[in-house]
Structure 1
Amino acid sequence: MADITLAAYSYGSVLFDPEVPCITTQWHSFANRQQFQSMMNEALVCYEEESKRTSPLGWLADTRQMSALTSDDQHWLNTDWNPRAYAAGVRHICIVQSENVFGQIAASSYSAKTLASQEYEIQPVTQPTIVEAKHWIQKNLQFHPVLP
């Protein structure tokens, strides 16, 4: 079964894969601050709604086409979005490695700051392909179900 598109923009999409199951943020190109934060917030709402029907539910960040993130966006993720994601039940975020160095730096910085946080416990994990990421989520959900 193919991913179900929940939202689509020129810079990214929010998807649901019922077979894994997981919500995916898939980046297609650069997103400015408003676009980035809006899509991340929309994806979190989708996660909250879907987790009422599907539990456990994973989170996949497809950053293959993602470029740089500003330090302000990094700060927003770690101090605003991550605490809300944790409150919604997100415990693991599987990141598909970016194809460009700027996206790789952004994902690495996000992972380091997320792991260092004392406010929440979200484990970011990077996988080289979308297939491997979905497999990791599926396996991880079997052994570490998300608890509210």
Structure 2
Amino acid sequence: MSAETIEDTKNYTIEWDDDIGAVVFTWDEYVSGQTFRDACEALLDAIKRKNASKSLTDTRGVNAHDAEDQEWLQNDWMPRALDVGLEYSAVVHPDSVISEMDVENMMDGVEPSGAKPLLTSDMNEAREWIADK
């Protein structure tokens, strides 16, 4: 994997992965509220700077997001991400039913213009899917 680190904090890492042509965002710790939103804004900034149409988000390091953060992501952040050109997103969640439901709830009603987001617990599947877009 040839990845360029864009930002590396204790809560998350943002990279550009040439192999799949996508911004890769990895949650390292659970955060909520303004800290969650600031991290998402950093991801949006990376998408803009790289003129990226694809992102892969690895949430295996966290188990859930609170309802307010989910609502903000759906109603505020995602429309802005689509406006700057994000078309495809893959989300890798922890291998648990609760985590899968959390990610599904977060993505519910979000239809990027290019395709429905991929939700999976398999990083290889996510990388292959996003690389093909």
Alignment TM class, shorter chain as reference: 0.7 to 0.9
Shift of 1:128: 2.8
Counterpart residue identity of residue 22, structure 1: A
Shift of 1:100: 4.5
Q: Report whether the alignment pairs 1:46 with 2:46.
A: yes
Task: Give 2:19's aligned residue.
Answer: 19
After superposition, the CA RMSD in angstroms is 1.9
Measured in 2, the distance between the counterparts of 1:102 and 1:133 equals: 19
TM-score normalized by the length of structure 2:
0.87
Task: Give 1:68's aligned residue.
Answer: 64
Shift of 1:125: 1.0
Measured in 2, the distance between the counterparts of 1:78 and 1:99 equals: 23
TM-score normalized by the length of structure 1:
0.79
Counterpart residue identity of residue 130, structure 1: M
Measured in 1, the distance between the counterparts of 2:67 and 2:73 equals: 10
Query: Which ranges of 4 or more aligned residues in structure 1 deviate by more than 4 Å?
Result: none
Q: Report whether the alignment pairs 1:133 with 2:133.
A: no
Measured in 2, the distance between the counterparts of 1:100 and 1:127 equals: 11
Over 3 Å counting, the alpha-carbon distance change for 1:101 and 1:9 in structure 2 is farther
Structure ranking higher in helix proportion: 1
